[in-house]
């Protein structure tokens, strides 16, 4: 059994990583800024990672062999170019380097597909960890890249580092303004589900699988960047149509009612060979099954609020 320090353990991804690690018998210490009630047997360490000196204090008190760092700025529509990304970069570097200095062995951090070059020239093909250029267009992506490069340069066999680059995800509890829940809630409310053209191709994983993937990466010996992706793409219009068919209200879908976002890549797919072959992770949830579960979640939410 390993002792693992986890940041972001109650989040959209973190809750599923925590469950997978607990189910495997590991001892967890979860970092939190406030008193909460959580369905976990893990211990809690209270502190704010963005405060000066807190990362160093937290890792010293945790005395953990492993670190799973998932926390970062995540507010939908805000995080792409938020100034807080710079502070998260600085404090994340402090967290991991202090963890190593205190005798910690392996750190696994959450990266992002936003680290890659999203220009049409490079995104036509699936993005891979070894050959696709890192040329982010957002502050968020640039800070993630900077953080990765600093930590990678300091890592070795004694100070192990893996960096999980998350592609598109969806799941129960997702912010309602994001693509999948916005389509679902509109249809459940008998309203038109307005969307862009839907021609964009995206690589989706259920948030439960993303969390499980991080748990598997944590307990593997794989180092460096690893895409947390499905490895195949699906057009957004096809995702919307699947939701429409599952709910039985396809006629309310309105593709093209909203403009496509400027600067977004047409294709955003990650090669997942390292995840499947080296980490040995296989997703559990198909897109149809995952969407069915999310629909049930929102149906229950609507019923509870009536």
CB-CB neighbours of 136 under 10 Å: 21
Whether the per-residue pLDDT at 39 is higher than 80: the answer is no
Q: Between the CA atoms of 46, 106, 68 and 91, what dihedral angle is there, to the nearest 10 degrees?
A: 60
- Which pLDDT belongs to residue 262? 83
The answer to whether 218 and 279 are in contact (CB under 8 A) is no
Mean pLDDT score, 125-131: 95
Q: Is the pLDDT of residue 111 over 90?
A: yes
pLDDT average, residue stretch 160-165: 98
Alpha-carbon distance of 242 to 82, in angstroms, equals 34
User: DSSP alpha helices (H): ranges in 24-67?
Assistant: 54-62
Q: Sorting pLDDT into bands at 50, 70 and 90, what band is 34?
A: confident
Cα gap 250→256, rounded to integer Å: 15
How do beta strands 201-202 and 234-235 pair?
antiparallel
Helix (H, G, I), strand (E, B) or coil at 239: helix
Task: Give me the chain's average pLDDT, please.
Answer: 95
Q: What is the pLDDT of residue 75?
A: 80
Buried b (16+ CB within 10 A) or exposed e, 254-278: ebeeeeeeeeebebbbbbbebbeee
Read off the pLDDT band of 41 (50, 70, 90): low
Mean pLDDT (whole number) for 222-233: 98
Q: What is the pLDDT of residues 75-107, one digit of tens each?
A: 877 889 999 999 999 999 999 999 999 999 999
**pLDDT band with cut points at 50, 70 and 90 for residue 261:** confident
Q: Span 61-81, mean pLDDT?
A: 91
Q: According to DSSP H, which parts of the chain are helical?
A: 14-23, 54-62, 84-101, 120-123, 139-154, 179-188, 207-218, 236-247, 273, 287-305
pLDDT at 36 over 80: no
Max intra-chain CA distance, the chain = 59
On the question of pLDDT at 123 being above 70, the answer is no
Report the distance separating Cα 295 and Cα 306, nearest Å.
Answer: 17
Other residues' Cβ atoms within 10 Å of the Cβ of residue 215: 24
């Amino acid at each position: 059994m390993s002792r693992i320090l986890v940041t972001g353990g109650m989040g959209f991804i973190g809750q599923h990583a925590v469950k997978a690690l607990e189910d495997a018998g590991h001892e967890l210490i979860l970092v939190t800024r406030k008193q909460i009630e959580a369905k976990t047997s893990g211990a809690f360490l209270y502190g704010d990672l963005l405060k000066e000196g807190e990362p160093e204090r937290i890792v010293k008190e945790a005395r953990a062999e492993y670190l799973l760092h998932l926390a970062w700025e995540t507010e939908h529509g805000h995080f792409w170019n938020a100034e807080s990304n710079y502070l998260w970069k600085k404090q994340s570097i402090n967290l991991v380097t202090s963890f190593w200095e205190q005798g910690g062995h392996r750190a696994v951090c959450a990266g992002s597909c936003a680290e890659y070059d999203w220009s049409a020239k490079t995104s036509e093909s699936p993005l891979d960890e070894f050959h696709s250029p890192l040329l982010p267009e957002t502050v968020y992506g640039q800070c993630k890249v900077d953080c990765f490069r600093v930590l990678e340069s300091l890592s070795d066999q004694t100070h192990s580092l893996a960096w999980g680059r998350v592609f598109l995800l969806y799941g129960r509890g997702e912010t309602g303004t994001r693509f999948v829940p916005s389509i679902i809630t509109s249809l459940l409310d008998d309203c038109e589900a307005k969307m862009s053209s839907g021609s964009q191709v995206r690589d989706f994983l259920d948030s439960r699988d993303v969390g499980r993937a991080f748990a598997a990466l944590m307990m593997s010996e794989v180092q460096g960047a690893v895409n947390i992706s499905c490895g195949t793409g699906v057009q957004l219009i096809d995702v919307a149509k699947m939701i429409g068919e599952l709910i039985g209200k396809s006629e309310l879908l309105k593709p093209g009612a909203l403009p496509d976002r400027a600067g977004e890549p047409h294709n955003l797919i990650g090669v997942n060979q390292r995840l499947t072959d080296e980490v040995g992770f296989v997703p559990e949830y198909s897109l149809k099954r995952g969407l069915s579960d999310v629909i049930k979640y929102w149906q229950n939410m609507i019923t509870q609020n009536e």
